[in-house]
Structures are given as C-alpha cells and as structure tokens.
Structure 1
Amino acid sequence: MIRRLTLTARLTFLYTLVSAAVLLGLGFLVAWSTHQHFIDLDRDYLLDKVHLIQKIVEETPEPTGLSGRLEESLNSHQGLFISLTRSDEQLFGTSGIRFPAELAARSASDQPMDWVDGERQMRGMSTELSSSKMPGALKSQGQSIRLTLALDTQHHTHFMHLLRQQLAIYVVLATVLSGLLGWWAARSGLAPLRIMKERAQKVTAHKLDQRMPVEAVPVEMAELANSLNTMLERLQQDFSKLMEFSSDIAHELRTPISNLLTQTQVSLSQRRDPDTYRDILASNAEEFQRLARMVSDMLFLAKTDHGIQLPNREDVALEEEAKSLLDFYDAVAEDKELRLRVVGAGSVVGDRLMIRRAISNLLSNALRHAYPCTEVALTVETQMNSTSLRVTNTGDPIDAADLPRLFDRFYRVDKARAHPSSDGAGLGLAITKAIMLAHGGSASVTSSAGTTRFFLQFPGSHGSRSLRVAHSQTQTSASAE
C-alpha cells in the first residue's frame, strides 16, 4: 500500500510514525517514573510510621495504655491503617480494613505491597518490631510483635489517571503536529525535484537545451542533476548528429537519383540507336553501383551502432595486409607518381577482411589527398600494451577544427561535398572507426605542416588474449548447439 503513495506522503507517514513512537515512549517513561516516585514516597511514609510506632511501643510501660497513645498519635494521619498483633492476640487494630494474609509472608519487609480492598487502592507493609527495648509487660517468652500498616493510595490512582489522559492527549496532538511539520518539511525538501520535473517536461525534440538547476538543488540531488544534464547533453549531440545524418544522406542520395532521372528522361525524349541506349544503361549501372555501395556501407554502420560481432578471429600480420594492399593500389600510385612504403611489423587478433578494409580506407584516402611525387608510408609499431598502424601522407593540411569530425558519417573537409577524383560518399573513415571499435581499438588523426597521419590503435597482448578467449567460447557454444 505504501508503494502507491507519493514520496511526500511516504516521508510524512514515516516521520509521523517515528514521532508517534518517540512520543509514546516518552509518555510511558513519564508515567512509569511518576508511578515509581509515588511508590518510593509511600514506602518512606510507611517506614516513618513504623519507626514512630516502634518508639511509642518502647515508651509505653503497660499494654492497657498502648491503644490510647497510638490513637492519639495517629489520629491526624488520614488514610492510614495499622494492626499490631502478638501471636494470635491483637494489641491494636484499625477497623474497616482487611489485610491480606500474604502481606505478612513477604520476605522483603521494607517493600510495600499493593492490593484492592473494596473500592480502595491500598499499599502496605508488615514487619516485626524490635523487642530489645520493649517494656517487660509487652515482652513474652518466644513471642514477637508484628506491625502491619497500609495506606490508601486512591489519590495517587486518581492523579495517575489524569496524568495518563493528559499524556495521551499530548501524544495525539504532538503526533498530528509532527505529521504536519513532516509534510511541510518533505514538501519543501522535495521542491527541487518538482523544479527538475518542470524542466524535464520542457524537453522536446526541438528543445534539447534545457538543463537541470545544479546550483539550486541540495547536495544530495546535485549528482542526480549532473547525471540528467549529462544525459541531455548526449541526447542533444546524438539528435544533432541524427539531423545532420538525415540531411547528409538526403544530399548524397539526391545527386545520383537526379542524374539517373535526368539521363533517363533525356534518353526517352526521342528514339536513339542501340549503342546510345547501351552507353546510357552503362552510365546508369555506375550510378546504381554507387548507390549500392552507399547502402551497403550504411547497413554496416547501422550494425555497428548496436554492437557488431567479429565474424572470424585469427592472427593477422598487419605488415602482410599492408603489402597486399600496396600491390592493389600500385597502379593508382603510379598515376600520381607516389611512392609507397611499408615499415615495421606486428600482428593482432581480429577479422582479417575487416582489418584489411580499414587499412584500405586509410590508404585510398591518403592516395587521394597526397601531393604528386611524394611518399605514402604505412608504419607498424608494436608496444607493450598495443599495436598500431600509421598511414602518413603529405598534402593539404587539415584545419584543427575539422580533425574531430573526420570520422563522422558523410563529413568532408571539402565544403563543396564532392571531390573531383573520388566517387565516395564520405563513409570510409566512419567505417574505419567502427571496425576499430569492434576490435576494441581506436582510430585517430593528426595534421600539421602539410603532413597528415592516421592511426589505427589495436589492443595489445591482453586484448588479443580476450579476443581469443571470446572466439574459443563462441566456437564451443556453436559446437554444443
């Protein structure tokens, strides 16, 4: 039931419950302490009367005069009842009361006993009087004198009844007041949450710049506000990237589709010979191939967004893959009079085709932007915790503001969004980064003084071992299935 309540109601309920428990405990303590105080007062009173009667007995020489002196001394003590006996003989007694038999049998003679006599609440004690100083007339061989006395505690009972009523009324009123104060404190304390709720309600797809008020909330909620602000920051960045991606993909698809449509409409405007139609279809086929590559790359990147599993894991020699790609791009390098070189050696664990595609993307990018008659170098370096491959070329420097976005989809440093020597869609570097993330590595770039360096950083031996273990587990699971 309490789970359905609001947080303010829960805090108010719990605070009220704790306050009621504390007040009840305090009320019980006050009532018990008052009751014990009355018991102590009555005990002292009764002991004082025991000493008084003991003195009267010692000062009375004859038993016949004892009753008179006791009545005279105790006449002013209202509500006090006594009984003075010697064996079965009663020397003095107060009428109108019955002493319980178990009172005389109590082992602790100085501790009072409570009982009910009719409508009266009685508290009394019983003790043997000292016979050392008694007159000879009161002494008897082998017999002792027992004094039993009691006090009417009706006035104490009445006081305790009123005290308990007042304490109960106080506990109820104080509990209600504590509940109201608890509700006010909880509502005031949770006010920052309501402010955060109002800010969150203002967040829409077109208004992601709202942030939680970190400075205006208590320290306990500041961490939550910071986490929400970080989440909103990520959402804003991802939404901005999504908007840019939608715009970029629309632009990239518009050009080939427009070319296909225009060329088809022109070819259908009049009759042409078969060779002309064949050339038009061949041109259209090139555009379709470009669209197919773009869609394939986009599907690959979409898979990497949800986490991609490496199809095959094996030891890959980076220098061997680089040399194979140099043979493939040798004709392109000769056209631009570029020198190709591979330096160093190193191996990693991963998917051979994906690693080759990542290196190929960097190499084709370097060949595309390198100055003629310069060198494109692929350098492999092995360190203790990582293995890296660096592709270096000399060409136009890249502005520092463009470096962080080079691996974004469809991003080109060329603001015209086209390159005369390329038919790419601007997805190569994004695919390279996705491949590196799938291998637990990273891709980065630096550019200064006309020299651009792209880095592929693979995990070292520990990361390779993890990949081998994962591959072994995958194979074991497949065999079990």
Structure 2
Amino acid sequence: MSAPYSLTTRLTVFFTLASAFVLIGLGALVAVSIDRHFVELDRDALRDKIHLMREVIGKSKSPQDLQTRLDEVLHSHEGLFVSVTRGSEALYSTPGFEFPDNLAEMTRGARLGVAAWQAGTRNVRGMYDSVSASGSGDAPLQVSVALDTAHHKHFMHDLIRVLAVYVALATLVAGILGWWAAKNGLAPLRAMRSRAMAITAKRLDERMPSQEFPIEMADLATTLNEMLRRLKEDFDRLSEFSSDLAHELRTPINNLMTQTQVTLGQSRTPEQYRDILASNAEEYQRLGRMVADMLFLAKADHGLILPTTEKIAVHAEVQALFDFYEALAEEKQVHLKLLGAAEISGDRLMLRRALSNLLSNAVRYTPPGETVFVEITADLHGTTVNVTNRGPAIDEQMVPRLFDRFFRADKSRKQLDSEGSGLGLSITQAIVHAHRGRISVSSDSGKTCFSMYFPSANSIGKHQTTNA
C-alpha cells in the first residue's frame, strides 16, 4: 500500500485543479462572448448591406441597370456576396458563389436572424430579405447577402491559442502559489509537531502555546494540552504508586530477611524456631494479601471483575459486620448504629468487603465515646449506603486522593495502629464501580462520611438503552 499524500500536496492539487477549472471556464466565457459579439457585428453589417441593396434596387431602371450598379457597388466591398432574384429568375449573382435554396428558412431559425454555413472553403454568414422595386408593379425581389467570416475565424483561432497558453501558465502559477500558501498555512501544524516530539516522560509539563496558533488549530492545541495534563497526572500517580509499592513490599521482605539472618546466626531450640516460623508466616500472609489486592485492582482496571448477581439484604450484611467488629469497637469505646434497610443486586462477598473496609476505617479513626452510623436509604433509582463517623477532618487537598492506591495522609508512614497497606479504599472504589455505582467522601466540622450508591437494575437497563 502506497503512503498517503501529505496535506500540503493534497491542498496544492486541490487548489491547482480549482484554479484550472475557473480559468478554463473564464476562457470559454470570453471566447463565447467574443463570438457572439462577432455575430452581432456581422448582423449589423449585413443589415447595412441590405439597406444598400434597397437603395441600389430603388435607383435601378432595368435589370441591366441593376447589374451595372451592383457591379460598381460590390467592386469596393471585398468579401461581400449578393444574390438578387425574382421568383425563379436570377437578376444578379456574385460569380463563383452560390446561396442555399432555403436561406429564408435558415435565417428565420438562426440566432439574431443571421444564418451561418460553409460555402466551399469559405465560412460565411448571410441574411435574407424581400425588396419591392420602386415604380414597378412586378413581384418583389429576393435579396440574399453574405459576408466572408475568415477574419473572424483567424482571430478566434489566435485568441483560443493565446487563452490556452495563458490558462496553462496561470494554472502553473496558481499551483506554485497554492503550494506556497499551503506550506506556510500549515507551518503552525509543523510547529505543533516539533513541540510534540520534544515531549518525553521527563518533560510532560510542556504545553502547546494555543494563543500563538490560528483559531482553527487553537482548539486542537487546547485539546492536546488537556491530554498532556491528564497524562502527567496519571504518570505522576503511576510513579508514586511504583514508589509506594516498592516501599510496601520492602518492609515485610526486610523483616523476613533480618529475622532469618538473626535466626541463622546461632543455634536455637525447636520452640524458638517454631515462634520465628510463625512470625514469618504472618509476614507471608501480609505479602499474600497485598499481592491478592493488587491482582484484584489490576483486574478491576481492565474490567475483568464480573460480580455474581444475587439479591442482597444490605442491612443484614451490615449487622453481620457489626457483630464481627463488636469486640474492636468495645475496646475502642466506639458505638455502632444501623439506620434503614434495603436490598440490592450484586456480589455478596464483594459488597461485604467494601462495607468492611469502610467500617474498619471508621472504627479506627472514631474517638472514644462516639458513634459510627451506617445509614441505608433506597428509592426507585437505587440504594445509598452512608458510613459516617466523628473524628479529625480530612484535609481538603487530601480528599480527592483518598482512593489512590497506597495513599496515606501521613507521608511519614508512622501509623503504628494501622496494619493496612493503603489499598482498602481503592478496592472499595473498584467494587462499587464493578456494580456500576459510585462512591464519594465528604469531611467537614469533625464529621467524615463515605457514601456508596448502587443503581437499581431498572436504572442500569434504562441507562444502557439510552446509550445504545
């Protein structure tokens, strides 16, 4: 397959063809107009000749006198042919020239009353008229006059040749100018391309100066800038995620290596080895959970999570989690309270995991003596589950990033009371999205609320129908 032509080439060819079409049309219009003008000139000349014939016929006293006068008159009119007849009798005829028998019909149907035909090698135009001889009771005379149009033909031939040369040269010049205009007109696009080539993974902060581009390209530059902004944000998050992942994996691996090296440093009793292996198993379990969570999130990113669908009593799942967290809540002197009830269609295990993540965080950060509320509301469109707790407000700048992987508000990572890996909220968001829902968070006035919304089956069907 041949490479596509450049935009400059396409614009040049288009402009050249358009110019050629316009120039050819203009040349044809000029040629037709001049030819029409020649017909009008010949018509006026033929009328003058017929008027002259009327005068000559009016002054003639006999056919012989008519022939004599016509010979004298036509002697000074080169290229003029005359025929005068009365009925079938020829009174005068220019030697060596014959008029068509149907000239009267030809002139009646011709443009401007002027007939054109070829007589031998001559191209002529003629006119027919009926003239009454003055002072005679005889039948009227039929007068036919014709002009040789060879000079018109030569002029038109030279004109068409000149026009053809002019059209060819003008089309060539138009093509060159079109190429120059296209090349310079697309210069901003080439500048945009040069700037785009300069953008690398280390220079994602480069932007297109949209104000320097023409209006037609300013929108494209703005769109590219927006794309670069999103890429930079995603790249920064990916870089931070890679750093966080390395940190999270390094901690348990270092613990395992240090403990193993210390253990191998001297002989120990079987009980001591058993305790060390038990401690190592805990670290392995932590690594296993982290790997499983990362695999879960990777599948969520590619849409590979297909939750099984069943009717789930959300309030029953929340109550079961209350029973599970009851001991931890009593230890921290935190109360748990459930408000409302509803059912949704979804995956039971995934929903319980999402609720467990939110409850775990709420219990962990709720001050003693306060209450964690789980409020369930439902309508025709879907079900909303709000998990609310009192405690320190989250910084507004931190709120948009709470669902990022490994994100923690404490950058020093000195959360001694937390055993999480920073993936809980990311997993919760992935679960909600897998159920075609949405999750949000608000934190102000010492109250933090995580809100999960699950659309009803009817709402999902209507949404899909509308998109289709």
TM range (shorter): over 0.9
What's the offset of the Cα at 1:419? 2.2
Aligned to 2:122: 120
Separation (CA, whole Å) in 2 of partners of 1:111 and 1:392: 101
Cα offsets for 1:6-37 (capped at 9, x unmatched): 10110010011011001100100110111111
Cα offsets for 1:304-344 (capped at 9, x unmatched): 11124433112322211111110111111121121111011
Aligned to 1:357: 353
Aligned to 1:41: 41
Contact 1:397–1:451, Cα closer than 8 Å, also in 2: yes
Cα offsets for 1:161-186 (capped at 9, x unmatched): 12112211221121112112211221
Contact 2:210–2:221, Cα closer than 8 Å, also in 1: yes
SS in 2 for 1:108: helix
Separation (CA, whole Å) in 2 of partners of 1:243 and 1:342: 40
Aligned to 1:10: 10
What's the offset of the Cα at 1:209? 1.1
- The one-letter amino acid paired with 2:127 is M
Specify which of 314, 325, 344 is matched with residue 348 of structure 1.
344
What's the offset of the Cα at 1:397? 2.5
Separation (CA, whole Å) in 1 of partners of 2:167 and 2:464: 70
Specify which of 416, 420, 424 is matched with residue 420 of structure 1.
416
Structure 1 residues 95-104 or 61-70, which shifts more?
95-104
SS in 2 for 1:237: helix
Separation (CA, whole Å) in 2 of partners of 1:17 and 1:107: 41
Separation (CA, whole Å) in 1 of partners of 2:330 and 2:462: 41
Separation (CA, whole Å) in 2 of partners of 1:332 and 1:192: 65
Structure 1 residues 386-395 or 152-161, which shifts more?
386-395
Separation (CA, whole Å) in 1 of partners of 2:239 and 2:227: 18
Contact 1:31–1:160, Cα closer than 8 Å, also in 2: yes
- The one-letter amino acid paired with 1:190 is L
What's the offset of the Cα at 1:345? 1.8
Specify which of 186, 197, 201 is matched with residue 197 of structure 2.
201
Separation (CA, whole Å) in 1 of partners of 2:415 and 2:462: 41
1:317-356 maps to which residues of 2 (within 5 A)?
317-356=313-352
Structure 1 residues 281-290 or 206-215, which shifts more?
206-215
Separation (CA, whole Å) in 1 of partners of 2:410 and 2:83: 121
Cα offsets for 1:349-399 (capped at 9, x unmatched): 222211111110000111111112221111112245442111122223222
Gaps of 5+ in 2: none
Contact 2:335–2:369, Cα closer than 8 Å, also in 1: yes
Structure 1 residues 16-25 or 203-212, which shifts more?
203-212
The percentage of aligned residue pairs carrying the same residue is 52
1:3-402 maps to which residues of 2 (within 5 A)?
4-103=4-103, 106=106, 108=108, 111-127=113-129, 129-131=130-132, 133-136=133-136, 139=138, 145-383=141-379, 385-402=381-398
Name the TM-score, length of structure 1 as normaliser.
Answer: 0.91
What's the offset of the Cα at 1:158? 1.3
Cα offsets for 1:202-246 (capped at 9, x unmatched): 111111112222112222222222221121111111111110011
Aligned to 1:478: none
Cα offsets for 1:238-284 (capped at 9, x unmatched): 11111001100000000000000111111111111111110010000
Separation (CA, whole Å) in 2 of partners of 1:207 and 1:397: 36
Gaps of 5+ in 1: 470-481
Separation (CA, whole Å) in 1 of partners of 2:349 and 2:462: 20
RMSD value, Cα: 2.3
Contact 2:345–2:456, Cα closer than 8 Å, also in 1: no
Cα offsets for 1:60-102 (capped at 9, x unmatched): 2322211122233333322111121234432112223233445
Separation (CA, whole Å) in 2 of partners of 1:33 and 1:425: 89
Specify which of 404, 408, 415 is matched with residue 404 of structure 2.
408
Name the TM-score, length of structure 2 as normaliser.
Answer: 0.93
Aligned to 1:474: none
* Number of positions where the alignment pairs a residue of Structure 1 with one of Structure 2: 463
Contact 2:307–2:435, Cα closer than 8 Å, also in 1: no
Q: 1:150 to 1:291 in 2, by over 3 A?
A: same
Contact 1:60–1:135, Cα closer than 8 Å, also in 2: no
- The one-letter amino acid paired with 2:17 is L
